[in-house]
A and B are shown apart, each in its own frame.
Chain A
Amino acid sequence: MNNFLPIIVSRSQTSNIMNFFVPIIAIFLTLITGFIIFLLLGFDPFYALYTFFISPISSSYGISELLVKATPLALIAIGLAFCFKNNIYNIGAEGQLTMGAIFGGGIGILFHDTNTFWLLPVMIFAGAIGGAIWGLIPALLKTKFNTNEILTSLMLVYVALFILDFLVVGPWKDPNGFSFPKSRAFSDSGRMPLLFDGLRVHFGLIITIFLIFVSWFVFSKTMFGFQLKVSGFSPKAARYAGFNQTTLIFLAFGICGAFAGIAGLSEVSGPIGLLYRDISPNYGFTAIIVAFLGRLHPVGIIFASLIIALTYLGAEDAQLFLQIPSAVGFIFQGLVLFYLLGAELLINYKLSFKRT
């Protein structure tokens, strides 16, 4: 037999430099693949890529929209980093986001005719609580019954979405809304202040930057961050050190849920202004890509959130100007993740072709 079969062989040494370049390589390969896809679809690939990646951010409005999209992505992703660093696979940020929107939005609906300075802070706080509660359920199930958090957190996403559905067609439906499945609009004091006149970028951005900074500090300077890291690397060492794994799981899920909840609240009290069915274009899921693309590092996550936000905008522009379905945006997100995981694999392993 003279077949050549590829075998995956572990590398004896991994390169730190390559490790750093992984996200850059992944993005580069995504662009090349995008080029080919557009070519095959019969578009001028240069024009298509320009429409997709450059024209959306060539105006101040575009930049503002980019930030509007990147804000929830970055905030959820940095929350997810608390879980992922500890090897806890919380896939349910979308549900935690939804619950945050429901809790915070609920306050907004209750006080829809009140204009007072404390309304927004209370809504943000309620959003954080809602998200945290939704995050603590899988934590409880994991620590009490040893359930797999990937499944439970994911299933809770759909529970949260159905609860939102129920509320906006049922008890929280806008009485003057002609039976549309949406709630009343929040009062002005229940809305995120805009940062610039005429642009949609809002105060949620400031909250996000602040929380990313806090997270950076926690990860790199505090014992809690160290404990997360150690439990992620080797649970046995964490046990030896006497770190309480149960507490760490609760904290990681709680923080992640709270961040996702704030992200959900700042969506509904920011650009949207009320509750309805589709408050999030899967930010909670996309943030998983952002977290890994950013290598779970605060700075990396900021850049990753901007890049992924651009795929959302690019998809809209492509639909508008090239009549390409906006689902192309998801193709680009998928490509980035695919190349990222692929490049990561090839850093630790190499392909060798052997005669068998």
Chain B
Amino acid sequence: MSDLILDIQNITKSFPRVIANNKVTFGIKKNSVHAILGENGAGKSTFVKILYGLLEPDEGYIKYNDKFFKVSSPAEARKNGIGMVFQHFSLFESLSVRENLILGIDEAMSYSNLEKKLENISSQYNLPLDLDAPITSLSAGEKQRVEIVRILLQDPQILIMDEPTSVLTPQEVESLFVTLNALVKEGRTILYITHKLEEVISICDTVTIMRNGEVIDTSSTSNFTAKTLATKMLGQKLDDLKTNYDHIKEEYNFEVNNISCEFNDPFLTDLKNISFKVRVGEIYGIAGVAGNGQSELMDVLTGENIKISSGEIIFNKNKIQSLGPQKRRDLSIAFVPENRLGHSAVPELSLSENILLSQFPKNNFLKNGIILKNNIDDYANTVIKDFNVITPGNDAKASSLSGGNLQKYVIGREISSNPKMLIISHPTWGIDAGAEHSIRESLIELSQNGTSIIVISQDLDELIEITHKISVIYNGKLSNPFKTNEVEIEKIGLLMGGKDE
């Protein structure tokens, strides 16, 4: 008998033109938190999908408690004691927490049993829940709790967590770690998929590092520092980023004056008297916990929503608050909304075709309404080359790219037009460290060339790393800006929690 709950041997999975998992071999100890660390495209997701019954391996096998283990669907995996919390929640927004939990149950369970079970789980694992609250009213952290409780109802032996902290506030992360520790104490095993180095070191016992579909190393986390982990994960050294204020001009070229926006919709956050100014060459960060008006503000800034109640937006002396996105692009303002799939890119279309979604005056993509295929292909190839997008070619569908590569492509598409202004939301959400680094680098470079940038992000580390000024949005209100190199993190944290002074 070994102390391994999962023994993975030579798992190989190929897709056309790429080997996603190449002879993946490692063991997971019972009753531990086991990290799989790697960039997007390293093969983490493919492996987890195989384990969870979403994909079938070409070769290799998995032993689960010393028995050969093969499932062909998530339902079967769950039945065998493997649960998974996905990075993207699959909850019904308009239903209550209770209703969502009931819907998630595979088997028949009496209602009173359910309530009792829920109570036990909530108290035992530090997962407080208001069962009657509609999902839409919950923060990302609370939604994740619902997901975790839903999985725990099935009493899994192994719990797979896919990038669980990407949408959480620092406080929520801590409370998640308490939960994970309680779960492990109970005798469960946690498979923790991440690209965040600190998390691996602070919470995981063992780490398997993957790169390009192969396992680089599996070892106790005590053998690593953040730096050695990063080197193993990336296989290359990262340059340090430095914020530089020298190139910023005195003059403001983007002003938002007293923008208010009422929606009369419980699903949306009203914007209240938002004002801020951005200098030429400045990166202006807007921090905040998700759901405090970021996407509503983004829509107003991009022109996707031009029905504002009051206020004005001025860019280079033009009032632009009532212009749609294309008219704003004509003034050389570029946008990258948060969601890659289906918003800033169409997954079903090729990379070349996706170029056409945002056109700038300098682009020569159309002649009398007819698409100049060669020109968009050239542009796509330039973006692919300049931004190191890993793809078989410009005819590949956007959906075939990993998150990080697609994000690099989308941002590259906007940057390549040399915009005077770039408005970007969550630039590195859910992507790997390598892509994250290169995106942040290109944003800094762009600002140094005189482009003003607004970055809306929940990732405070990111904002501190790249921005010159930070303000915080809370409940549709925007705080005063702070110079990033002078601000105290506690101050930002308080503002994010809705506490003034």
Interface residues of A (CB under 8 A from B): 7, 9, 12, 221-224, 226, 229-230, 233-234, 236-237, 239-242, 244, 352, 354
A354-B371 contact in complex given A237-B343, A240-B304, C-beta closer than 8 Å:
no
A221-B342 contact in complex given A240-B302, A240-B357, C-beta closer than 8 Å:
no
CA distance A242 to B337 in the complex (A): 13
A contact residues around B329 at 8 Å (CB) = 242
CA distance A222 to B326 in the complex (A): 18
A222-B369, A223-B371, A354-B73 known, 6 other contacts, Cβ within 8 Å: A223-B356, A223-B366, A223-B370, A230-B349, A237-B344, A241-B325
- Is B353 interfacial (CB-CB < 8 Å)? yes
Q: Are B342 and A242 in contact (CB under 8 A)?
A: no
Number of interface residues of B (CB under 8 A): 34
B contact residues around A352 at 8 Å (CB) = 72-73
A contact residues around B304 at 8 Å (CB) = 239-240
Q: Are A241 and B370 in contact (CB under 8 A)?
A: no
Closest chain-B Cβ to A30's Cβ sits at a distance in Å of 29
B contact residues around A7 at 8 Å (CB) = 75
Q: Are B366 and A241 in contact (CB under 8 A)?
A: no
Closest chain-A Cβ to B275's Cβ sits at a distance in Å of 25
Q: Are B369 and A242 in contact (CB under 8 A)?
A: no
CB within 8 A of B356: which of A9, A221, A226, A244? Answer: A226
Q: Is the interface of B mostly helix, strand, loop or mixed?
A: loop
A contact residues around B76 at 8 Å (CB) = 354
- B 284-309 to A, binary, CB cutoff 8 A, 1 in contact else 0: 00000000000000000011100000
B contact residues around A240 at 8 Å (CB) = 302, 304, 325, 335, 337, 343-344, 357-358
- Is B327 interfacial (CB-CB < 8 Å)? yes
Closest chain-B Cβ to A294's Cβ sits at a distance in Å of 19
23 examples of A-B residue contacts, CB within 8 angstroms: A7-B75, A12-B54, A12-B55, A222-B370, A222-B371, A223-B356, A223-B366, A223-B369, A224-B369, A226-B353, A230-B357, A233-B342, A233-B349, A234-B342, A234-B347, A236-B342, A240-B302, A240-B304, A240-B343, A240-B358, A241-B358, A244-B324, A354-B76
A237-B357 contact in complex given A9-B73, A229-B349, A230-B349, C-beta closer than 8 Å:
yes
A242-B303 contact in complex given A9-B73, A222-B370, C-beta closer than 8 Å:
yes
- Is B345 interfacial (CB-CB < 8 Å)? yes
A contact residues around B335 at 8 Å (CB) = 240
CA distance A222 to B353 in the complex (A): 12
- B 339-363 to A, binary, CB cutoff 8 A, 1 in contact else 0: 1001111111100010011100000
CA distance A239 to B72 in the complex (A): 39
Q: Are B54 and A234 in contact (CB under 8 A)?
A: no
A contact residues around B371 at 8 Å (CB) = 221-223, 226
- Residue of B337, B346, B348 with most chain A CB atoms under a 10 A cut-off: B346
Q: Are B326 and A242 in contact (CB under 8 A)?
A: yes
CA distance A7 to B75 in the complex (A): 11
A contact residues around B75 at 8 Å (CB) = 7, 354
A contact residues around B344 at 8 Å (CB) = 237, 240
- Is B279 interfacial (CB-CB < 8 Å)? no
CA distance A175 to B336 in the complex (A): 68
A contact residues around B232 at 8 Å (CB) = none
- Residue of A9, A230, A241 with most chain B CB atoms under a 10 A cut-off: A241
Closest chain-A Cβ to B241's Cβ sits at a distance in Å of 29
CA distance A311 to B327 in the complex (A): 51
B contact residues around A242 at 8 Å (CB) = 303, 324-327, 329
- Is B63 interfacial (CB-CB < 8 Å)? no
- Is B49 interfacial (CB-CB < 8 Å)? yes
Closest chain-A Cβ to B335's Cβ sits at a distance in Å of 7
A contact residues around B303 at 8 Å (CB) = 242
Q: Are A221 and B353 in contact (CB under 8 A)?
A: no
B contact residues around A354 at 8 Å (CB) = 73, 75-76
- B 70-97 to A, binary, CB cutoff 8 A, 1 in contact else 0: 0011011000000000000000000000
CA distance A244 to B358 in the complex (A): 14
Complex A-B, nearest 8 residue pairs according to Cβ-Cβ distance, in ascending order: A242-B326, A242-B325, A234-B342, A241-B357, A236-B343, A237-B346, A233-B348, A242-B324
- B 59-74 to A, binary, CB cutoff 8 A, 1 in contact else 0: 0000000000000110
Closest chain-B Cβ to A115's Cβ sits at a distance in Å of 39
A234-B326 contact in complex given A222-B370, A226-B371, A240-B337, C-beta closer than 8 Å:
no
Closest chain A residue to B359 by CB distance? A241
Closest chain-B Cβ to A2's Cβ sits at a distance in Å of 15
Closest chain-B Cβ to A1's Cβ sits at a distance in Å of 10
A contact residues around B353 at 8 Å (CB) = 226
Chain B 208-238 residues near chain A, CB threshold 8 A: none
A contact residues around B337 at 8 Å (CB) = 240
Q: Are A230 and B369 in contact (CB under 8 A)?
A: no
Closest chain B residue to A235 by CB distance? B342
Closest chain B residue to A231 by CB distance? B346
Closest chain-B Cβ to A269's Cβ sits at a distance in Å of 32
CA distance A237 to B55 in the complex (A): 29
Closest chain B residue to A9 by CB distance? B73
A contact residues around B357 at 8 Å (CB) = 230, 237, 240-241
CA distance A12 to B13 in the complex (A): 13
Closest chain-B Cβ to A74's Cβ sits at a distance in Å of 24
Q: Are B345 and A237 in contact (CB under 8 A)?
A: yes
CA distance A239 to B335 in the complex (A): 12
- B 260-278 to A, binary, CB cutoff 8 A, 1 in contact else 0: 0000000000000000000
CA distance A244 to B76 in the complex (A): 45
B contact residues around A230 at 8 Å (CB) = 346, 349, 357
Closest chain-B Cβ to A78's Cβ sits at a distance in Å of 19
